[in-house]
Chains A and B, each alone.
Chain A
Amino acid sequence: MKIRVDESKCQGHSRCYIIAPELFEVDDYGYSHSRFETDIPADLEEKARLACENCPEFAIEIAD
């Protein structure tokens, strides 16, 4: 599974980071970035889905 934060949509609500700091890092302005360009560890897939489903800006993309 790959994850990506769409920079044009992210408004820095930080929900993804609170749910999965292992997957996301936020910069000083609150904008989120994925820590992984390649496949994420399998044991974090559930958290990735949760982050995606809690983002109020629909900014997190998941590709299986």
Chain B
Amino acid sequence: MTTSKLGPVNNWEDDFDILDGAYLNNPFEIWDHLRNSCPIAHSDRRGSNWLPTTYEDITKIAHDVATFSSTQVLVIPFIESQSFSYENINPEVLGYGAPPITADPPLHTWTRRLILPWFSHKKVSEYEPLTQAICKKLIDEFSKRTTIDGATEYAQQIPVRVISHILGVPEDMTDIFTTWVRDFLEFADNSENRFNSIKEIVLYLIGVIEERKILISKGQHLDDMISFLIQEQNNNPEIDDAIVLGMSILLLIAGIDTTWSAIGSALWHLGKNPNDLLMLKQQPEIMDTAIEEILRAYSPVTMARVVTKDTEFNGCPMKQGEKVLMNFPAANRDPKVFENPETVNLKRKINRHVAFGSGIHRCGGANLARMELRIAISTFIDNLPDFIVDNDDDVIWAGGQVRGPRKLPLTFIK
């Protein structure tokens, strides 16, 4: 098991490290332990960070946006000395970060409203045939084999293609996007790669936006989401170029690692639990509760908040500038809210999970993510109904901001 580059964890109460191997592989036991010993843990690794583990604390913090600001949402912070003043990028281009996720009201409110209609149920159902076709094509490529890597050959390939379609960027960029997003979110301890990845994303999207602007000014009709933001600039002067860029960055990044992780976790679970796989095949009508349960039990996303003023929260002295990790995954394992939280029950009836967050930042792409999960899983089990995770030791989990399997050997039983 790997220790993080900051050395072994002395104790989880006041020296936690979410990139420690034990946390990556099995954070559940650590949260259970903390809920009993110290429900809001603390660590001075990577700045001063608090780690709440109960549903009540996490949802309370998520709703107090005045005290807990979203202007710093990365769980592994950028090294302080680094700023966006390099080469040909004007630091002001990222003046707003990536709204709405890095914004507080009022900026949050109107930038969020701009994107929500793009992920309504009706709109999302338009992307369903495309998602189906992507999944089927991937499966056709490996269906004759006896083993595949369910993470890189399947799960990873789906969300990036769907979002590329929505943003109107070419499919042949998908491997590059995946590399950028992983360097930015997943390999966050390698600050040089991380810095380069965000730089590449910024430069690429600046190019895309410039190109679209020219086409639009020539009267071309473009119906992708980035072009929509550009066209909205005519209706709302508040949407300046930095807003268009920041929002495009978020839209490119937000749906890739997250949804891929959820699809991978679902396949891992089904490959480890043949009874659940059988039940899902025999009773496809439970798919909706199954998906919510997978999202609860294997919630991919942890976010961060920054404390805006000294405050005492549930006995913890939180100082201005310190960070709180929004541990939605731990909230979803809280025994006070979920009956037998450690049991994955695909028919769980009462499941108030917060895998998509809580409060005003509720995941904008939740409907899209759910649709992708549903299609990815059902297409897989319809075409390749019998598979197992042969050897759990070969599975590699990533974590930190986004948790999910990055290597997932699956064996088909024919």
Interface string of B47-78 (1 = CB under 8 A from A): 00000000000010000000000000000000
Q: Is B198 an interface residue (CB 8 A)?
A: no
Known: A13-B362, A14-B366, A30-B367. A54 touches B121 (CB 8 A): no
Interface string of B389-412 (1 = CB under 8 A from A): 000000000000000000000000
Interchain CB contact under 8 A, B116 and A57: no
Chain A's closest residue to B360 (CB) is: A11
Q: Is B351 an interface residue (CB 8 A)?
A: yes
The CA of A17 and the CA of B125, in the complex, are separated in Å by 15
The CA of A14 and the CA of B352, in the complex, are separated in Å by 12
The CA of A19 and the CA of B370, in the complex, are separated in Å by 14
Query: 13 extra interchain contacts, Cβ-Cβ under 8 A, other than A11-B360, A28-B120?
Result: A11-B359, A11-B362, A12-B362, A13-B366, A15-B292, A17-B121, A18-B288, A26-B121, A28-B116, A29-B113, A29-B116, A55-B352, A56-B59
Chain B's closest residue to A31 (CB) is: B116
Interchain CB contact under 8 A, A50 and B349: yes
Tell me the smallest distance from the CB of B339 to a CB of chain A, in Å.
Answer: 12
Interchain CB contact under 8 A, A14 and B350: no
Interchain CB contact under 8 A, A26 and B120: yes
Interchain CB contact under 8 A, B351 and A30: no
The CA of A28 and the CA of B117, in the complex, are separated in Å by 5
B360 contacts across to A, CB distance below 8 A: 11
| Chain B residues in the interface with A (C-beta under 8 A) | 59, 113, 116-117, 119-122, 288, 292, 349-354, 356, 358-360, 362, 366-367, 370
Interchain CB contact under 8 A, A13 and B356: yes
B122 contacts across to A, CB distance below 8 A: 28
Tell me the smallest distance from the CB of B122 to a CB of chain A, in Å.
Answer: 8
Chain A's closest residue to B354 (CB) is: A56
| Chain A residues in the interface with B (C-beta under 8 A) | 11-15, 17-19, 26-30, 50, 53-57
A54 contacts across to B, CB distance below 8 A: 292, 350-352
Chain A's closest residue to B348 (CB) is: A54
**Among A18, A30, A50, which residue has its beta carbon within 8 angstroms of that of B350?**
A50
Chain A's closest residue to B123 (CB) is: A28
A15 contacts across to B, CB distance below 8 A: 292
The CA of A11 and the CA of B353, in the complex, are separated in Å by 14
The CA of A27 and the CA of B367, in the complex, are separated in Å by 13
Chain B's closest residue to A29 (CB) is: B116
The CA of A51 and the CA of B113, in the complex, are separated in Å by 25
A13 contacts across to B, CB distance below 8 A: 356, 362, 366
Tell me the smallest distance from the CB of A29 to a CB of chain B, in Å.
Answer: 4
The CA of A14 and the CA of B359, in the complex, are separated in Å by 13
Known: A17-B121, A30-B367, A57-B358. A12 touches B352 (CB 8 A): no
Tell me the smallest distance from the CB of A19 to a CB of chain B, in Å.
Answer: 8
B354 contacts across to A, CB distance below 8 A: 56
Known: A12-B116, A12-B362, A13-B362. A56 touches B367 (CB 8 A): no
Tell me the smallest distance from the CB of B115 to a CB of chain A, in Å.
Answer: 10
Chain A's closest residue to B117 (CB) is: A28
Known: A11-B360, A18-B288. A56 touches B353 (CB 8 A): yes
